[in-house]
Structure 1
Amino acid sequence: MTNVGVIGRVTSVQSTTLRVSLDVGAKGFTKVGPDGLHTVGVVNSYITVPAGAHRVVAIVTGVYISRHWDKRDQKTLLSEDDQSAYELEASVVGRFEGDRFRSGLTGYPPLHAPVRAATVSEVRNIFLPQGVPSLKLGTSAVASEQDVFLDANLLLGHHCAVVGSTGSGKSCTVMSILDGLLDKSIPNGHIVIFDVNGEYAQSFSQGTARGSSTRTIVLGPKLGSSEGLFLPHWFMNNEETLSLFRASEGVQAPVLQRSIADARATSSTNQRDVIRLQIVEDTILAIEQLYLDKNGQEPAHQQLTSLHQIVSDQSQAIGPCQSQWQEMLTLVTTAIADAQISSAMWQRLTPGQKDILGQLFIALRNRVSEAFGALGMGSAEAAPDFDAPVYYSLQQLCDFFLPSRVKIEQANDSRIANYVATLQMRLSRLLADGRYDFMTRVERHSDPLGSYLKLLMGSDPTGGEDWPAADLYVKQSRRHEEGPSVTIFDLSLVASDVLEHVTSLLGRVLFDFAVRSSPRAAYPLLLVLEEAHRFIPARKDPNGSGIRSTAVFERIAKEGRKFGLSLLLASQRPSELSETVVAQCGTVIAHRLTHEADQNLLRHATALGSRALLDQLSGLAQQHALVTGVSTGVPAAVRIRDVADPPKSNDPDFISAWSDPGKLKDLPAHIDRIVEGWQGPRT
């Protein structure tokens, strides 16, 4: 191989780090090559070094000037430049096999191997994935004429994290990625955005190019069925329900589980059966307490007569436990005839009467147990799937089914009511908390789960006439024709302590849908999480908030790829994110980060060859980022491309607003509008 284009020689090889001594002709940091003038020794530029049958590619991470002293030159007057050695340090990022760039290292270059600056064509081959779908992210920070592309399938298949301090350009980077995807013909594309700051709706409004080329639905920011941002509580699985109600494992959790199973299994028409079965049990207890009473026959006669009337009435009602009621009627009728209990005052129950009543009560309790089983409420009966998203009323759970279950379980432990009292109080307070109304007070409607999944996936959810947000959907979808679906959840008005339950439930529903889909990944989906640290916090405190939400997204990060569910995270504090989620992101786009903890997390989560580059994070300019990971051939310093109609995340113009006297006059009316929307219309 000729020495044309050689800029130096390898002087040190340590793992993935090369040290290069630059030739004399390269000291001016330029070198004439066969295809023009090359810039030499510039951080973030690329060099190539022969290594066996391939050429190793490395990115320059540092340049140095060091003094050297040669005894042979003691009598010669040398300039400062002649006494200096010029060196550079580079991290190996891949190799060329012929003209094709591949990531990874198969061999190391020898000492004194010639080093060349990567040519324009080589740089182009590095940045443009060959034979795969790609999207343009921006241009190289070193060579502005060179576009930087990402492998779209690897980007989506291995998740992506966009991190950076406030104002560094994260939201625009997220939008540039989405634009790169929307540039392609993807009519079956599905994108869901969790927008906690209310930034993305304007980027997809109907007057924008994105709004006209996508099927976009914006849910929120107002909460409630009519605004589209509602989430039925009955979608929650067992773990989510126990977390929301903070039910303790010992007694509260089992009682709550069975109460919800009762509520799901029992229709409103069966509630009368439940109430009267409880009356039968209460009557048995009341008569048993009269056994030692001196005037026991009179009250016992009243109780039995009244019980006979209730059982007789219920035995005529058609229902799942009608046969048990008819058997109880026969038992009560026979016992009244045999016991001959009178209504006379001051007479005790005789031993014979007690014996007849005792046998009656044993038989009645057996029939009551069978009746509860027929209603799906029996303790020995298999309950419906606790995770099944089947409707039940939370108000009825609080007012009827939980107290009913407590009464049933008290037959085994009289202390149950005391154990469950705090749970009942929390449930009552939850129903009184208006912030949860968009979850706890969603009216029953046809096909709730199916219509909600259709909404998430960009299909028409209004098949049932009673779908709560039908008017909103019709209004927003009026101009929809074709293109990928984009569903934006504007969560800016969701309270922080409610946000965890909302995002974890939505994430889990999407994941369960992906897992149950067959064939696998037939409808892949990209889930964009803005300000992801707010609902995927690091698990620093086992009893802290966000644990349930973190668990959901950690599972998606680890398993979602094979089911076609991809994450695109954006966060200004990566150190507050779950380290598991960050580590699963195959592509990391890092803007300016000044906090050491944030930088250290990225160093642990990125490949060895990329860590030296991360030292630049604190000095990156706005709209510039370092890109590492599987979707790009090499780690690269990139200027992110400009986007039209960016998210509403620009810095406010304080001085301009403060200088406008008209705004001062409008301030009282502005406050009134805010207060009315905040606390509701004044009465």
Structure 2
Amino acid sequence: MTTDDRRRAIGSVVAVAADRFVIEMHGGTDSFTVVGFDDVHYVARLGSFVMIPAQAEYVVAEIVGLRERDAGAGGEMDKAGSAKFLDVVPVGMLPVEGGRFRFGVSVFPSLYADALYALDKELDRIFDTSPASERSSGPDGGDCVPAEATRLRILEIGQSVVFEDYRVKVRIDEFFGGHAAVLGNTGSGKSCTVASILQELFDKPDEHHARGATFVALDVNGEYHQAFGRLAAAGVIGVDRLVLDGTAAADRFRIPHWFLDLSEWELLLQASERTQVPILRMALGLATLFGGAADGQLNDIRNHILAKCITQILSDESPPGAKETRILGILQRFRTAEINSGTIGAMVHTNYGNMANIEDAFAYLVGEDGDGGYVIDDFKLPDYSNSPFDFETLGDAIDLALLYEEAHGNRQIRDYCSQMVTRFKALLEREDYAFLRHPAAGATRDTGPFLARLLGLGAQNGCHVKASQVVIIDMNAVEDEVVELVSAVVARMVFRLLRRADPRSRFPVHLLLEEAHRYISSTPSRYALDAGRVFERIAKEGRKYGLFLLVASQRPSELSKTVLSQCSNFVVHRIQNPDDLSQIRQMSPSISDGVLRRLPTLPKQHALVFGNSVNLPTTFKVRSADPLPASDDAKIVDLWFHEAGRKAGITLSPAPADLADEGEQPFP
């Protein structure tokens, strides 16, 4: 043992077991305090480490208990003379000189081996957070400009509450190179933690900021724009705020409805799998045909559908008058230059209960002897191709799909689909879905400009460059069902783009999911039919394509188990619910019971960090965010007790001209 090691010895090992050691502290210590050669050390903090030499390595052990046994003969305890013991649990091995920390103990200490307090440089080796920065390199590993520029390797996230004056750090590659979760009860500081981590990431004073980062925040509470105002104003990063309030205003976030894929249409219309989904898929394929100007091929398909529907009606057993009414009803909504009420009306006219020209109608629509007519042999209904169409046209297409199905003998299909039809009609009128209803005139199916804005990209010299590192989709003004739909569409579109990128994994994107339990629930809500499937797929497959989730939630037990199980890093604030605590225990068996028991009593702005980016779980005080996100608690005393006549802190509508009249006032 070196001289320095002897000078920092705090006690000796007096009991050794496979999973626990007991250390008796040296006599003369008071209150578990040791005066070392470098500083005064309090060595009995639960969760701190002691170093026990064993051959050429240290056994790193975590303190999990402390106790004191009186050595005096009197009735009072002699603090200076009583024996003091530390109960410690071995966690790993650390070479004495250089080398990396490794989990597990291969060599056990002998009895009466010295126990040493840990130095900061040893903590850095245990947590593998040295060096803090390194030289930057170009996009292909070559030189960069300027050549002496550096980049961060580790990120300081707060101050340790276990090790005095020690900064808790995470490895950037491991923390942001996998999915992460920030968990904690409401009011425990989750939003401030997320803002603090990102501020520290971007607020580097040297040459290279994290300009290549892309964080897309699904901000359901409207908190994060305020937190990045200083960095944006200073030109350190670009911050783009997209506000979704449900309207179709030009300065608001909008999604063309033809960008939705089949599963998202199913979610939007809450279509059931067995009967409504097939009709919806047929209608989406037909919508593009009946929604805009059609060329000759599309007109042939229209004629085929109309001819098939009309001939099926002519062939059924309903009365002639009913047939005429149904056929003219179809032709009033759907018609072509060849098949319309003018060309067909006289052939299906009923006179004295008879349809005299039915043979002429068949000959016109189907042809004679296989020649002529408008029916296409081996016809297949068109597939949905995300081509632009007017939103209201989908209602006509659903009606035609139902008619087409009825014409083939399924007379009850309209009753089975009535709920979906009602839902669609409601969406046509709802103001909070105006953001989805886009006119098709002049539009294209190209998602490039939409995704470029969503990912913070701008055009420069014929290519895309980073314009914004943080893109905030502010959804505070809309309801949960809109949040679920928009989050699913955004996540799916980004995931599809990155899956098709070549080479892949060269443009990492992080989706910040605030209040994630609202749209990635373990059980689908009454709005969402498996809306969380896209997030579960991203959780399982996104890493290989460079798409990562940063999940923030106050109810880990309500989150999708698949998403949570794929998170490799966790920052956990105060958690009190037993189900949530049990969920956290299952996520990381390496957390000791003592650490877990402290979670319900963690103060605000304190958290436990564990996962791939830190070698061992540790509790810390989160670095203060500056500025804070807009998530301040209400100051009840300040807002309740004040002078009369103070202006209210909320605006509802223009106030009445006079509120001073006596007597009862009508409720508006």
Question: What 5-or-longer segments of structure 2 have no aligned partner?
Answer: 134-152, 657-668
Does residue 141 (structure 1) correspond to residue 161 (structure 2)? The answer is yes
Residues 8-30 of structure 1 deviation map (CA, whole Å, 9 limit, x = unaligned): 34455666554433333556412
Q: Give yes or no for the alignment of 1:65 onto 2:68.
A: yes
Paired residue for 1:45, among 41, 48, 58?
Answer: 48
Instruction: Supply the distance in 1 between the matched residues of 2:587 and 2:316 (Cα, whole angstroms).
Output: 70
What letter is aligned with 1:115?
A
Q: Which residue does 1:511 correspond to in 2?
A: 495
Instruction: Give the equivalent residue in structure 1 for 2:106.
Output: 107
Displacement of 1:453 after TM fit? 0.5
Residues 625-657 of structure 1, C-alpha deviation per residue, up to 9 Å, x if partnerless? 111111123222211112211101111222323
**Residues 316-338 of structure 1, C-alpha deviation per residue, up to 9 Å, x if partnerless?**
x9xxxxxxxxxxx9xx9xxx9xx
> 1:625 matched to which residue of 2?
607
In the other structure, the counterpart of 1:160 is 180
Shift of 1:496: 1.7
Deviation at 1:290, TM superposition (A): 11
Out of 380, 391, 397, the residue aligned to residue 388 of structure 2 is 391
Do structure 1's residue 251 and structure 2's residue 248 form an aligned pair?
no
What is the CA–CA distance in structure 1 between the aligned matches of 2:484 and 2:565, rounded to whole Å?
Answer: 21
Q: Does 1:195 align with 2:193?
A: no
Q: For each residue in 1:170-208, what CA deviation from the matched residue of structure 2 results, as whole angstroms up to 9, or x when unmatched? A: 211111110122135222221111111111112223x55
1:222 counterpart (223, 237, 245) = 245
Opposite residue 414 of structure 1, the aligned amino acid is N
- Check the 8 A contact 1:188/1:484 in 2, yes or no: no
| 2-structure distance, mates of 1:674, 1:161 | 44
Deviation at 1:221, TM superposition (A): 4.8
Q: CA deviation at 1:219?
A: 1.1
Aligned equivalent of 2:140: none
> 2:53 matched to 1:90?
no
Q: Residue 393 of structure 1 aligns to which amino acid in structure 2?
A: D
Structure number with larger C-alpha Rg: 1
1:23 corresponds to: 26
Give the whole-Å Cα distance in 1 for the aligned partners of 2:173 and 2:190: 21
Matches within 5 A, 1:500-649: 500-539=484-523, 544-546=526-528, 548-649=530-631
8 Å CA contact retained: 2:157, 2:196: yes
Q: CA deviation at 1:154?
A: 0.4
Shift of 1:524: 0.4
1:322-341 map, 5 Å: none
Partners of 2:285 and 2:336 lie apart in 1 by 29
Corresponding position of 1:492: 476
Pairing of 1:243-322 with structure 2 (within 5 A): 243-264=267-288, 268-270=292-294, 277=304, 280-281=307-308, 284=311, 314=338
Could you report, residue by residue, the CA deviation over 1:432-481 in whole angstroms, capped at 9, with x for unpaired residues? 22222212346563455111110111123899xxxxxxxxxxxxxxxxx9
Conserved in 2, the CA contact under 8 Å of 1:451 and 1:462?
A: no
Residue 670 of structure 1: aligned partner? 651
2:409 match: 413
For residue 525 of structure 1, what is the amino acid of its counterpart? V
Counterpart amino acid of 2:407? Answer: A
Tell me the distance in 2 between the aligned counterparts of 1:599 and 1:60.
Answer: 22
Instruction: Give the SS at the match of 1:231.
Output: coil
Q: Is the 8 A contact 2:291 2:393 kept in 1?
A: no
Distance apart, 1:356 and its partner CA: 8.8
**Which secondary structure state, in structure 2, belongs to the residue aligned with residue 259 of structure 1?**
helix
Deviates more, 1:168-177 or 1:402-411: 402-411
Aligned to 2:397: 401
Residues 193 and 487 in structure 1, CA contact (< 8 A), matched pair in contact too:
yes
Residue type of the alignment partner of 1:625: A
Helix, strand or coil at the partner of 1:107:
coil
The structure that is helix-richer by fraction is: 1
CA distance in 1, matches of 2:617, 2:316: 82
CA positional deviation for 1:537: 1.6
Alignment-derived partner of residue 142 in structure 2: none
Residue 291 of structure 1 and its aligned partner are, at CA, apart by 12
Tell me the CA shift for residue 123 of structure 1.
2.4
The change in CA–CA distance for 1:632 and 1:365 in structure 2 (over 3 A counts) is: farther
Whichever residue aligns with residue 220 of structure 1, its letter is V
On the 8 A contact 1:204/1:211 being kept in 2, the answer is no
**Residues 429 and 358 of structure 1: is their aligned pair in 2 closer, same or farther, counting only changes over 3 Å?**
closer
The residue number in structure 2 matching 1:323 is: none
The change in CA–CA distance for 1:346 and 1:446 in structure 2 (over 3 A counts) is: closer
Secondary structure, aligned partner of 1:410: helix
Deviation at 1:523, TM superposition (A): 0.8
Does structure 1 conserve the Cα–Cα contact (< 8 Å) formed by 2:267 and 2:529? no
Aligned residues of 1:186 and 1:484 also touching (Cα < 8 A): no
Distance 2:240 2:105 in 1: 49
* Paired position in structure 1 for 2:122: 122
Corresponding letter in the other structure for 2:236: S
Question: Residue 674 and residue 486 in structure 1: after superposition, are their counterparts in 2 closer, same or farther (change >3 A)?
Answer: farther
Matched positions, count: 606
CA contact (8 A) 2:247 2:433 kept: no
Q: C-alpha distance in 1, partners of 2:282/2:107? A: 65
Q: Match of 1:467? A: none
TM-score by length of 2: 0.79
From 405, 426, 429, the counterpart of 1:429: 426
Alpha-carbon distance in 2 for matches of 1:412, 1:234: 28
RMSD (Å), alpha carbons: 4.2
* Residues 106 and 421 of structure 1, relative CA distance in 2, 3 Å threshold: same
Mapped partners of 1:43, 1:390: distance in 2? 62
Q: Which has the higher contact order (CA 8 A, sep 6+)?
A: 1
